[in-house]
Structure 1
Amino acid sequence: MLIMTDVLVLGAGYAGLRACKQLAKSKLDLNITLVNKNSYNYDATALETVAAGATAPENIMMDIADVTSNKVHFIQDEVEVINRNQNSVVLKNSKQELKYDYLFNALGFEPETFGTPGADEYALQISNIDNAVADYETVVKHLETYQKTGNKDYLSMVVVGGGLTSAELLGELVHQIPKWARKYGFDKADFQLTCIGPNLLSMFDEKQRAYAQRYLEKHGVKFILGQNVKSVSDTGVIYGDNNHNLPARTVFWTAGVSGSHVIEKSGYPEHRDRVAVNDDMTSPTNANEYIIGDVAAVKDQSTGRFYPPTGQIAIQEANIAVANLKAKLTHSKPVPFTYRSLGTVCSLGPTTGIAYDLLGFPIKLTGILVPTIKNLIFKRSAFELSGLKAALQR
């Protein structure tokens, strides 16, 4: 009698879907189960376009049933807790307990507000389709309120943070403001868009950072750098050592992310809900658990620092994790994780951006080609996740 190995994959983001695809192709005798909160996958790198109203949500979504193998059994539910000593996962809605021989934990990320008062309650966050859609609905509501009342506080918007998501959101917003001005009847100069954070795009060199800042300033963004937001309310933010008050009805929080809260709840050794994994992508405490994607902290051996979580690295982590499960089951030598970057790309709206280290070469680009390159990288990632249909969808 053939004995099948039960493999449970948690999360259908970049890492989870790639793991499912590679497991289904592995020719191993596996029962593969995928658990995800929603029935769809989405391009997390494009959520800011939905939040700004530049893209319809369906344009960045894919039905899981359409992009997974029939060898994968899909369960739509949330994970309540992982009972790691019992090799089981309890689901939140159905209360079902799923047993596994091997676990691929790819639970994804959540916004991190660092305990800032009011941030969770009043700030708009960009971490999934639902809140990105709700963000844009809030923006529209505030613009409509301005149109009815003439209260210019509703034309004041703050973006908290200075990383890739912050800059890309700013780029989308400045592209939308002229359209909003025509529709809701205000002068573009009356719209105040402010970015507050410790720095801007620190992963880029000085020349490219300066280009991004100049471009955004030219299109109306005011930067307050070297400062932190201390609190958020429904009328604005308090920032800086002198507790400056900046009135704003719309505040986007893009200042950081952490891994899923299920990580801490399930007793993993973690920092900000990310687990420092072994070089074969296994948990440091449980050899039958592979931790990949936004809940994994992978060290760059050349610098001693952890790689930032990205879609690119998540796909490569999934590849190595599946390869090492196959090595384990076939008594072969495991493969250590090495990362080959396709480049770091920041689009500043649909017409310009900055990029470096494209395809592993020391190439730096600035200007109109960058958004196209970002889309090509997405299409390659989509193909690796789910094949040609997914790559052609967007």
Structure 2
Amino acid sequence: MERPRILVVGAGFAGVECVRRLERRLAPAEADIALVTPNSYQLYLPLLPQVASGVLTPQSVAVSLRRSSRYRTRIIPGGAVGVDTRAKVCVIRKITGELTDQAYDYLVLAPGSITRTFDIPGLTEHARGMKTLAEATYLRDHVISQLDLADASEDEAERASRLCFVVVGGGYAGTETAACLQRLTHHAVKRYPRLDHRQIRWHLIDLAPTLMPELGDPLGRTALEVLRRRGIEVSLGVSVAKAGPTEVTLTDGRVLPSRTLIWTAGVAASPLIGTLGAETVRGRLLVTPEMTVPGAAGVFALGDAAAVPDLAAGQEGAICPPTAQHALRQGRTLADNLIATLRHQPLRPYVHKDLGLVVDLGGTDAVSKPLGVPLRGLPAQAVARGYHWSALRTNVAKTRVLTNWLLNAVAGDDFVRMGLRASKPPTLREFEHTDAYLTPDQLRARTASRPAAG
């Protein structure tokens, strides 16, 4: 008999953790495992702001999937752009652009999320996100180039717009991004004799009434005080009304002269979910507590793209937040359930109590709430970096990150660009490839000739 074919989509925390557990607990004769991902690495997403600020190198947060020869999973370099659960086929757009059909017996959907955007004029054309390694690397080049161009300019209006930076999103990602990049410009401007540090303006914008509400009011206020002490102008209850190449208009009527708009206002499930024609909850794929997809035989889903019931919350209808700690633990539980399915054993529901959040604001500033205990300053910084360091999957990645941290603390930054700045900057869609997915009609036309899978 042929071995069952397990296809895992996505190499984030959830997908990789699932694959590694399958490899450890399934005998080679029990199943063939394949992983669909455009890049052969797992991105440690929480450390992207430190890549953008130059504290960490890009390679240090890109944990290779091919490094160890003992792993037997086949890596398919591409992105899943459509799923036909009737025919049990996943359509993959390879990195060459060619479409190919991959049949499966069991499908694990962990495609993650994309940057959530709104119908704001100019947003998708002029904003940059913080979801990919390319975006973080580009942002560092872009911010330093604005200092270079402002230094070279004799026009005061142009200089003001180049030295004004706007970050939208007062959650975890936006707060860390604003804090880390502000430290970058604060230290870099000392190397520009023609620029005054008072000319540099950082704005953090969020529609919510409080900063990082998930941390609670006391720690949220602490983070707000840290940012304002550094000179970051925090505007709450405000959003962007219009974005242009040289200015950003806010909903309170203010017009900020700026050539840098960083958009981190939440995430949305991968567009792949829309191709299944299955029921969703707040845009995420509806799944059972065991992470199976109702009505789709052999299909499991987890992570940011799935509405996994949060049984530990004690509230009816609660779903797990899209965090790394949930993704990791869901990956392990789903792998065990998939193995149980193969061996005709009962499945178990996913239950995990949230362990809290850690927020690294750079330097000695941080706020953390591990296991509900509020921490500030150096103790919070130690917990934040200790958590991230321990969560890195390989010893090589841990060594790189620790070395980067030590080197940056001792020697600082050289503030050099990699030459990524283009005359036509990539858009949000181009960075995250959100235009690559098939429509339901295109998917049906492609798989119509295939019989329904038994």
| TM beyond 0.5 | yes
Decide which moves more: 229-238 or 10-19: 229-238
Aligned partner of 1:168: which letter? E
Q: CA deviation at 1:39?
A: 2.1
Decide which moves more: 342-351 or 157-166: 342-351
Aligned twin of 1:158: 166
Aligned twin of 1:220: 231
Alignment partners' CA distance in 1, 2:165 and 2:199: 11
Aligned twin of 2:254: 244
- Aligned positions of 1:292-371 closer than 5 A: 292-301=302-311, 302-303=314-315, 304-356=317-369, 358=370, 361-371=371-381
Q: CA deviation at 1:3?
A: 3.5
Aligned twin of 2:424: none
Q: CA deviation at 1:67?
A: 5.1
Decide which moves more: 260-269 or 23-32: 260-269
Q: CA deviation at 1:231?
A: 1.7
Q: CA deviation at 1:235?
A: 1.5
Residue by residue over 1:148-189, the C-alpha shift from the partner in whole angstroms, topping out at 9 and shown as x without a partner, is 114221110111111000111122023212222112332222
Aligned twin of 1:108: 112
Secondary structure, in 3 states, of the residue corresponding to 1:55? coil
Q: 1:138 aligns with which of 118, 136, 142?
A: 142
Residue by residue over 1:343-389, the C-alpha shift from the partner in whole angstroms, topping out at 9 and shown as x without a partner, is 21111113221111x2xx33111111323322322233323xxx544
Aligned twin of 2:25: 26
Give the aligned length.
Answer: 386
Matched, 1:377 2:390: no
Aligned twin of 1:267: 277
Decide which moves more: 373-382 or 133-142: 373-382
Provide the TM-score with structure 2 as the length reference.
0.81
Aligned partner of 2:106: which letter? Y
5+ long unaligned stretches in structure 1? none
Which one scores higher on RCO, CA 8 angstroms, separation ≥ 6?
2
Decide which moves more: 297-306 or 254-263: 297-306
Residue by residue over 1:56-96, the C-alpha shift from the partner in whole angstroms, topping out at 9 and shown as x without a partner, is 21121122101584321111112121112111111113422
Aligned partner of 1:19: which letter? C
Aligned partner of 2:183: which letter? H
Taking structure 1 as reference, are residues 248 and 122 closer, same or farther at Cα in structure 2, changes over 3 Å only? Answer: same
Aligned twin of 1:210: 221
Q: CA deviation at 1:254?
A: 0.8
Taking structure 1 as reference, are residues 193 and 228 closer, same or farther at Cα in structure 2, changes over 3 Å only? Answer: same
Q: CA deviation at 1:247?
A: 1.5
Alignment partners' CA distance in 1, 2:299 and 2:69: 22
Aligned twin of 1:179: 187
Alignment partners' CA distance in 1, 2:262 and 2:338: 41
- Aligned positions of 1:180-195 closer than 5 A: 180-185=188-193, 186-195=195-204
Aligned twin of 1:234: 245
Indicate if the aligned counterparts of 2:287 and 2:308 stay in contact, CA closer than 8 A.
yes
Alignment partners' CA distance in 1, 2:286 and 2:69: 29
Aligned twin of 2:53: 52
Taking structure 1 as reference, are residues 99 and 340 closer, same or farther at Cα in structure 2, changes over 3 Å only? Answer: same
- Give percent identity, aligned residues only: 27
Aligned partner of 1:196: which letter? I
Residue by residue over 1:93-126, the C-alpha shift from the partner in whole angstroms, topping out at 9 and shown as x without a partner, is 3422111110111111111112222111101111
Matched, 1:119 2:118: no
Taking structure 1 as reference, are residues 193 and 211 closer, same or farther at Cα in structure 2, changes over 3 Å only? Answer: same
Secondary structure, in 3 states, of the residue corresponding to 1:96? strand
Indicate if the aligned counterparts of 2:160 and 2:257 stay in contact, CA closer than 8 A.
no
Taking structure 1 as reference, are residues 113 and 264 closer, same or farther at Cα in structure 2, changes over 3 Å only? Answer: same
Q: CA deviation at 1:141?
A: 2.1
Taking structure 1 as reference, are residues 225 and 291 closer, same or farther at Cα in structure 2, changes over 3 Å only? Answer: same
Indicate if the aligned counterparts of 1:67 and 1:390 stay in contact, CA closer than 8 A.
no
Alignment partners' CA distance in 2, 1:30 and 1:393: 34
Aligned twin of 1:196: 205
Aligned twin of 1:39: 40
Secondary structure, in 3 states, of the residue corresponding to 2:180? helix
Residue by residue over 1:247-273, the C-alpha shift from the partner in whole angstroms, topping out at 9 and shown as x without a partner, is 211111011111211111332323564
Alignment partners' CA distance in 2, 1:38 and 1:58: 13
Matched, 1:290 2:294: no
Alignment partners' CA distance in 2, 1:285 and 1:371: 46
Taking structure 1 as reference, are residues 171 and 325 closer, same or farther at Cα in structure 2, changes over 3 Å only? Answer: same
Indicate if the aligned counterparts of 2:26 and 2:339 stay in contact, CA closer than 8 A.
no
5+ long unaligned stretches in structure 2? 402-454
Alignment partners' CA distance in 2, 1:272 and 1:184: 47
Q: CA deviation at 1:393?
A: 4.2
